[in-house]
Amino acid sequence: MNTHHERANVLIEALPYIQRLSGKTIVVKYGGAAMLDDNLKKRFMEDITLLKFVGMNPIVVHGGGPDINGTLSALHIETKFHNGLRVTDEETMKVVQMVLTGRINKDIVAGINACGGKAVGLCGIDGHVISAHKCPPVEGVDLGCVGEIDSVDTKLLNMLTSDEYIPVIAPIGCGEHGESYNINADTVASAVATALKAEKLMFLTDIDGIRRDPEDPSTLIYEISSMDVAGMIADGIVSGGMLPKAKACAKAIREGVNRVHIINGTIPHSIILEIFTDSGIGTMFTK
């Protein structure tokens, strides 16, 4: 009987969040270990499908670095990075576009559809959703076909989400003359969420979120303001790999996204646990 009561309490705890978020846009950046483990993949697809069925409008933006590296290696094409950005010559760009918009994107679409959702695979070229230009040289290094976002056209995305569809976006942008650009998936997710004035932007990572002591999981910060983040960055508490994500979260908040979350995608059903429980499991950024 206690087990039945616990299950009922879980549903009741979720009720106010379902009511509050009905009709709202939730942008999820899907990446990291959650894309590599079959069990975590299925749990992610279930979470996204559930969000749609309870009245929200989820949009997925995905990466795919490990798959790109593996394909380049199989084709004997050298992988080069500079300041964390992939140096993308024309030969590499063909592989990047093939992997991201082909196998990875369609695998995600198929997985959501298998859970009962209706996903539609896109990249920034489709409907000219993401307009971009060539990234200027970084420290004198030409990054090739790496792009910076000029604008996000929300018409197609709004049309899909207002119906029963779940857009799944590969981070490829379109240049003025139809050229393709490789764009960081975190950047694309943030730009899409900002353009849509999303209620939530969620980054799935391989760590729990921001900690007061980076080495101590018990010091996880569950809620933080963009002003507090700036202070922690200045004090050196937020540094290393978390620094760019924290800055991206604070920027999205400043530009109109209502809530931004960093959560651990290696926890099954991490999206549901973060959105529908009082405590959450990651770090939530607020205005």
Q: Which residues contact 133 (CB under 8 A, 6 or more apart)?
A: 147, 148, 150, 175, 176, 181
Average pLDDT rounded to a whole number, residues 46-57: 96
The letter for the amino acid at 200 is K
User: Can you give the residue ranges of every domain in the chain?
Assistant: 24-286
- Does residue 182 have a known ligand-binding role? yes
> Packing angle between helix 65-74 and helix 90-98, nearest 10 degrees?
120
Q: How would you list the strands of the sheet with 25-30, edge to edge?
A: 119-123, 166-170, 57-62, 25-30, 200-205, 259-264, 283-286, 223-225
- Does residue 7 have a known ligand-binding role? no
3-class secondary-structure state, position 172: strand
Mean pLDDT across the chain: 90
Q: What global pTM score does this model have?
A: 0.92
Read off the DSSP letter of residue 34: G
- Does residue 64 have a known ligand-binding role? yes
The letter for the amino acid at 100 is L
Q: In the chain, which residue ranges form alpha helices assigned H by DSSP?
A: 2-21, 38-53, 65-74, 90-98, 105-114, 155-161, 185-195, 226-234, 242-254, 270-275
The letter for the amino acid at 154 is T
- Does residue 175 have a known ligand-binding role? no
* Residue 2 pLDDT: 61
Q: Which residues contact 45 (CB under 8 A, 6 or more apart)?
A: 108, 111, 112, 114, 115, 117
For strands 85-86 and 147-152, give the pairing. unpaired
- Superfamily the domain 24-286 falls into: Acetylglutamate kinase-like (3.40.1160.10)
Per-residue pLDDT reduced to its tens digit, 55-81: 999 999 999 888 898 999 999 898 888
Average pLDDT rounded to a whole number, residues 75-101: 88
Return the minimum-mean-pLDDT range out of 5-9, 30-34, 39-43, 140-144.
Answer: 5-9
